[in-house]
Amino acid sequence: MPIVHIYLLEGKPQTYLQALGDSIHQALMETWGLPEKDRFQIFHEEKAEHFKIDHFAYLEGEGVQRSDDVIMIQITTSPRTIQMKRAFYKRLPDLLKDSIGLSPANVFINVMMTDEEDWSLGIGKTTLIEKLE
């Protein structure tokens, strides 16, 4: 049950945001085996003065040239393998290029892993542990 925070500049139409969220969830279902109904996404639309992502300075030699369309995706999740994370990192930019025309250089992803006991999804239970018992 990952929680996905999506940061981007304000002003995109709802259809763009919907396609963005759909693509992220599709990539998670394909690469992490998430169920269709395991979708927890929070969109953070920021004013330009509150969203400072360098376009060229960092990793310029790696061919990463971002534009103002850059999105930052931060995922908090229970443990995932490096293979799962790499598959997600590879799949998502392809889906976003097809769905909203986003350049792969504009897809910035950060995955933060937690332990299973760090999750309570309601009613006071350590859901990921108690569900398994």
What are the residue numbers of the active site? 2
Rounded to 10°, the helix 82-100/14-32 angle is 150
Length of the chain equals 133
Query: How far is it between the farthest Cα atoms of the chain?
Result: 50
What whole-number distance in Å separates Cα of residue 70 and Cα of residue 108? 7
**What are the helix and strand counts (H, E) for the chain?**
3, 4
